[in-house]
Structure formats: structure tokens, C-alpha cells
Amino acid sequence: MNPLLIAFQGEAGAYSELAALEYFPEPVQTLPCRSFDEVFERVLHQECSHGIIPIENSLAGSIHRNYDLMLHHELHIVGEYYLRVNHCLLALPGVKLEDVRIVHSHPQALAQCEQNLNRLGVEIASEYDTAGSARLLRDRADRRAAALASRRAAEVYGLQILVDAMEDNRQNFTRFLALSRTPFSRQTSDEREFKTSIVFSLDNKPGALFKALGVFALRDIDLTKIESRPIPGSPWDYMFYIDFAGYIAETNSRRALDNLQEITTFFRVLGSYPRHRMKFE
């Protein structure tokens, strides 16, 4: 069996790569990309079978760039995965915790470990990527420095873990979306739970959003996520992104979407895919 080639943003050892390895069935090969834009382009140009992107974090919120990219590219969401984010303090082999004077990482990782870093009394240095900070540490061979990154980054770059779970809040999860050129196709006997993601716009008039959301409320359809993004070139007009529980071909879902399209000025299904259920402990 030929391995799936999965595009992700970041360097080897990034959390996005870890999500790809945990979500997709083996065998898998991963393709590092410099930007989220490149992930979309690689999939569109058939340079890989799938892409995986973060869409929201339980502490930091939504990744707005990826909402905009989903709108502007004809790719389909075919799955979701919740990854527990575990920031490890990494150093060169043989370095002791008391030797560390400066810690490198992505600004978000540094912010999520702020209290524990303050207790260590170290300086912080912002880098563009968590895994990139681990690679930087290895390349510079700086024995006074450490990096905040994943356990996998320690394996990739030959670093030791000084402290596991450096994050101040353990309820730190990132939701990832799997992207493909073709939509997910539900099998007849498939009994899994499903989720559907859509995007739409409305005329800016009283009650428009109320009516749009009402098509789901009237049918007892659970909305799991609502996000709005400004429409470039049209100040104070918005695109609305909604995730709801249900598969697009189910009668209840289909009727709700048919009703919604009667009142929207733009409408598109981004994907209908298996729902990832996870206990957030």
C-alpha cells in the first residue's frame, strides 16, 4: 500500500504533523509547508492526497486565516481531530534545568506557559514555530537555551525533555480539519456521528441572522460552532461559518439547508464528515 502524503504547516515535529500522524491511518508520509496557503495549494495541485490545518484552540480561539482560505479554495473538509497540546521544555542532551537562561518558542506557546516560565525566571524569545525553535536549539548547540515544543520534536531533533506539560492550563486542545479535493462519502452502513460545515452571507437587514439560525432551531439541529468573518471590499458585511451536528444527506439536514438557501445571498457546503468525540479531561 502506498503511503498517504499529508501536507501540514510547520517543520517536522510540529503539532500539525503530530495531528496528521494520529488522525490518518498508517502508512503516512508528511509534507512540511511554510504557510497555510501552501498547504491548500499542495492539495489543490495534487502534490499530496490531503492537508491538515488547525482551525481553533480551546484557549486561544479561532485561526481566522484558515477560515478565509477555506472560502477561497475549492477543497472539502473530510474529517476533524482534537489534539491534546502538551508543551515540553526541551534542551540539548546533558543540560540541566538550572542551566537554562532563555526559552525559545512560538508566541502562543510562550503565552500558554507564562506562569511556569516566570517561576523558572528565564528570558523568552519568540520564534515563528514551536518545532522550528527545537531545530534552532539543535543547530546552535546552545547549552544555555531551551525550547517549548512537542514530544515528537524532541525525538526528531535529538533533544531531551527537561519538563513535561509546561502549559499553565491542561485543558489545551486544538481542533484540526482534514482537507481533500473530493468530499467525504458516507457508506450505507456507517453508523458514526457526523458534522457538517457551511458558510453563507445574508442581506444586512433586521432579523436576517435570526431567520438563518431559526432553520436549525426549528428542527432541533445542534449548532456546534458559529464564526463570522468580514467580507473584503464590503465593510461591515460578514460571512457566517457554522458547524452543525448531522450529515448533509439526512432528511432533517437537507431540509434545513434548503430552507437556509432561500434567505442567503451566498451559500456553500465546506464539508460533511465524521465527528470526532473526545473526553476533555
Instruction: Give 34-40 contacts, CB < 8 A, sequence gap 24+.
Output: 34/9, 35/9, 36/9, 36/63, 36/65, 36/66, 36/69, 37/69, 38/7, 38/9, 39/7, 39/8, 39/9, 39/179, 40/69, 40/73, 40/75, 40/179
Q: Looking at 30, 130, 174, 264, which residue is catalytic?
A: 174
> Cα Rg for the chain, rounded, in angstroms?
21
Residue keyed to cell 526528531: 156
First to last CA, the chain: 36
Give CA separation, 162 vs 114, 127, 206, in Å: 17, 20, 57
Instruction: Say whether 130 is catalytic.
Output: no
In the chain, the amino acid numbered 147 is A
Instruction: Say whether 174 is catalytic.
Output: yes
Query: Whole-angstrom Cα distance, residue 257 to residue 270?
Result: 13
Query: Whole-angstrom Cα distance, residue 141 to residue 8?
Result: 27
The residues, any chain, with a CB within 8 Å of residue 52's CB and separated by 6 or more, are: 6, 7, 8, 16, 19, 20, 23, 24, 39, 81, 176, 177, 178, 179
- What residues form DSSP beta bridges with 125? 104
Query: Whole-angstrom Cα distance, residue 27 to residue 253?
Result: 34
Q: Looking at 24, 176, 194, 244, which residue is catalytic?
A: 176
* Catalytic residue IDs: 174, 176
